[in-house]
């Protein structure tokens, strides 16, 4: 699948078939994730592949409501054959080489969210190109998830996604017009 086609046709998938995902396919999407760029190539990301249904159930229970509505991804984490949890080592991304942990190099602090997001978007696009579904899940209690997964101090859980064969074809979620979001030369200049 061409990259632009993959970008345009990926959808958040929240209903999954029970069909298992084989190890090689999981490895392929993880490879795509780890080819993402990162701050000074620090690669702060860590990934946990969860197949154990009891652990997936516990992770699903950490999801929190969004705008007073239950998190629609909770059943997806429960029912998909696999969940991939993305963690980050703190104090690496956004710091001067050899000086971490110390003062961040920029006024944006630790860039771990950014690097993990790049990796996870690679993963979701690669999954889509292989016929698999995913949905980025950010609304959950990260501390509870870290306890469930035994994530050590100095690391945190950033996001998770179910991974499996889609059992739905969701409609396209609209995007703003480029004219609304793009400026030229200075902010707001059209
Ligand atoms: C950082 C981030 C966090 C998200 N968290 C959740 C979530 O907790 N639950 C959920 O159902 N969807 C979640 N989503 C999915 C978005 O709702 C979805 O990407 C958006 O509505 C656009 O739909 P599309 O992915 O099908 O294009 C999240 C997406 C992102 C990028």
Q: Where do we find the tokens 């501390």?
A: 143
Q: What is the mean pLDDT of residues 11-23?
A: 98
pTM above 0.85, yes or no: yes
What is the Cα–Cα distance from 88 to 95, expressed in whole angstroms?
A: 14
Label residue 147 left, alpha or beta by phi (over 0 means left) and psi (-120 to 50 means alpha).
alpha
Q: What is the pLDDT of residue 103?
A: 85
Q: Is 46 in the pocket of ligand 1 (CB under 6 A)?
A: no
What mean pLDDT is reported for the chain?
96
Q: Which residues are bridge partners to 164 per DSSP?
A: 133
What pLDDT, in 10s, does the model give residues 105-164?
Answer: 999 999 999 999 999 999 999 999 999 999 999 999 999 999 999 999 999 999 999 999
Q: Is 86 in the pocket of ligand 1 (CB under 6 A)?
A: no
Q: What is the pLDDT of residue 90?
A: 96
Query: In this prediction, what percent of the chain has a pLDDT beyond 70?
Result: 97
Q: Which residues of 86-117 are buried (b: 16+ CB within 10 A; e: fewer)?
A: bbbbbbbbbbeeeebeeebbeeeebbbbbbbb
Indicate which atom in ligand 1 lies nearest the CA of residue 76. Answer: 11
Separation of 158 CA from ligand 1 center, angstroms? 14
Q: Which residues of 27-49 are buried (b: 16+ CB within 10 A; e: fewer)?
A: ebbbebbeebebbeebbbbbbbe
Q: What is the mean pLDDT of residues 96-104?
A: 70
List all residues 6 or more positions away from 5 whose beta carbon is below 8 Å from its beta carbon: none
Is pLDDT larger for residue 102 or for residue 148? 148
Q: Is 134 in the pocket of ligand 1 (CB under 6 A)?
A: no
What is the Cα–Cα distance from 84 to 154, expressed in whole angstroms?
A: 20
What is the Cα–Cα distance from 31 to 122, expressed in whole angstroms?
A: 9
Q: Is 25 in the pocket of ligand 1 (CB under 6 A)?
A: no
What pLDDT, in 10s, does the model give residues 65-81?
Answer: 988 899 999 999 999 99
Separation of 100 CA from ligand 1 center, angstroms? 32
Three-state DSSP state, 75: helix
Q: 125 near 32, Cβ under 8 Å? A: yes
How many angstroms separate the Cα of 125 from the Cα of each of 16, 24, 27, 51, 82?
Answer: 17, 16, 14, 21, 16
Indicate which atom in ligand 1 lies nearest the CA of residue 63. Answer: 8
How many angstroms separate the Cα of 102 from the Cα of each of 48, 94, 99, 108?
Answer: 27, 10, 6, 14
**Within a 10 A sphere around the Cβ of 7, how many other Cβ atoms?**
12
């Amino acid at each position: 699948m061409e990259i632009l086609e993959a970008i345009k046709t990926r959808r958040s998938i929240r209903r999954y078939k029970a069909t298992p995902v084989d190890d090689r396919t999981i490895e392929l999407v993880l490879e795509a994730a780890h080819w993402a760029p990162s701050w000074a190539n620090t690669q702060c990301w860590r990934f946990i592949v969860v197949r154990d249904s009891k652990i997936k159930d516990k992770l699903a229970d950490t999801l929190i409501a969004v705008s007073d509505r239950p998190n629609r991804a909770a059943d997806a984490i429960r029912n998909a054959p696999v969940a991939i949890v993305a963690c980050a080592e703190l104090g690496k991304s956004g710091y001067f080489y050899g000086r971490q942990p110390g003062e961040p190099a920029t006024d944006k602090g630790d860039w771990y969210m950014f690097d993990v997001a790049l990796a996870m978007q690679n993963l979701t696009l690669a999954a889509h190109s292989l016929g698999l579904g995913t949905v980025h899940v950010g609304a959950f209690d990260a501390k509870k998830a870290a306890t469930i997964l035994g994530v050590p101090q100095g690391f945190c859980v950033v996001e998770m996604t179910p991974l499996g064969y889609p059992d739905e074809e969701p409609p396209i979620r609209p995007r703003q017009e480029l004219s609304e979001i793009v400026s030229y030369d200075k902010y707001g200049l059209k």
